[in-house]
Amino acid sequence: MAKERGILTIVSGFAGSGKGTVMKKLISEYDNYALSVSATSRAPRPGEEEGVSYFFKTREEFEEMIDKGLLLEHAEYVGNYYGTPADFVFARLDEGKDVVLEIEMQGAMQVKQRYPDTLLIFLTPPSADEIYRRLKGRGTETDEVIDRRMKRAGEETKYIKDYDYLVINDNIDDCTARVHGIIQSAHYTVEHEAELAAELEAGLKKYQ
């Protein structure tokens, strides 16, 4: 029987949902996960490593990747491109790794449209007031920026219905365990085990 392919999972969520922390805990606490490395056209910042922090590309190289369909998704922010290289992701999946991407909602919809088997998980604090409290508690943003983030969170709620799972992050350890459980259960869906189902059907024919 062929090596089981990994699960492609996208984790999205409101600002303050703790998705970045959950991703880091998944990688550190469980063996079978691989984080996707994004490509970008912006210049490297001090301490960033090629192939670890990002795949750094010129704007022309990035646009060539777009034209050739080499990205799962891409977007442009503040004059720079960001995107997910497909070959890197599929190589990890073929190795049997569960690949987890942290991308925003529109990018998630792009990937889901192209690859319907993608598992979509949306993280949220327990309430709208908690979203505000967490953003305020960071102490790194002005009230104006926080207000913009809260307004954006309101706009982002329209995407929740398109996700497969909605997970409350009220405790980082519990949330990480829930996300891990969801991803591992996806290995046993009929869709994911279609090859096994076909083998069973073929093997049982001799007993009919």
What DSSP string runs through 20-70? HHHHHHHHHH-SSEEE---EESSPPPTT--BTTTBEE--HHHHHHHHHTT-
CA angle 35, 86, 79 (to 5 degrees): 85
CA-wise closest residue to 31 among 184, 194, 201: 184
Whether the predicted pLDDT of 147 surpasses 60: yes
The predicted model gives 177-182 an average pLDDT of 98
Report if residue 82 sits inside a domain: no
Other C-beta atoms lying within 10 Å of the C-beta of residue 186: 18
The predicted model gives 186-204 an average pLDDT of 89
Q: State residue 3's pLDDT score.
A: 66
Start-to-end C-alpha separation, the chain: 23
Condensed to tens digits (0 to 9), the pLDDT of residues 84-139 reads 999 999 999 999 999 999 888 988 998 999 999 999 999 999 999 999 999 999 88
Q: Are 92 and 100 in contact (CB under 8 A)?
A: no
Report if residue 23 sits inside a domain: yes
Report if residue 61 sits inside a domain: no
Report if residue 92 sits inside a domain: no
| Domain tally, the chain | 1
Q: State residue 17's pLDDT score.
A: 94
Report if residue 49 sits inside a domain: no
| Residue 27, domain extent | 8-36+97-207
Please name the residues in contact with 34: beta carbons below 8 A apart, sequence gap of 6 or more. 6, 92, 95, 97, 98, 99, 100
Report if residue 133 sits inside a domain: yes
Give the three-class secondary structure for 80: strand
Whether the predicted pLDDT of 5 surpasses 50: yes
The separation between CA 126 and the C-alpha centre of its own chain, rounded to angstroms, equals: 21
Quick one: what percent of the chain has pLDDT higher than 90? 76
Compute the distance between CA of residue 120 and CA of residue 10 in angstroms, rounded to an integer.
5
Task: Give me the helices (H) in 115-171, please.
Answer: 128-138, 143-156
Q: State residue 1's pLDDT score.
A: 47
Report if residue 201 sits inside a domain: yes
Report if residue 116 sits inside a domain: yes
**CATH at 129:** 3.40.50.300
The separation between CA 155 and the C-alpha centre of its own chain, rounded to angstroms, equals: 20
Residue 206 host element (H or E): none
Q: What pTM was computed for the model?
A: 0.84
Give the three-class secondary structure for 71: strand
Condensed to tens digits (0 to 9), the pLDDT of residues 62-88 reads 999 999 999 999 988 778 999 999 999
Q: Are 36 and 43 in contact (CB under 8 A)?
A: no
The predicted model gives 176-181 an average pLDDT of 98
Q: State residue 2's pLDDT score.
A: 52
Whether the predicted pLDDT of 185 surpasses 90: yes
The predicted model gives 160-169 an average pLDDT of 97
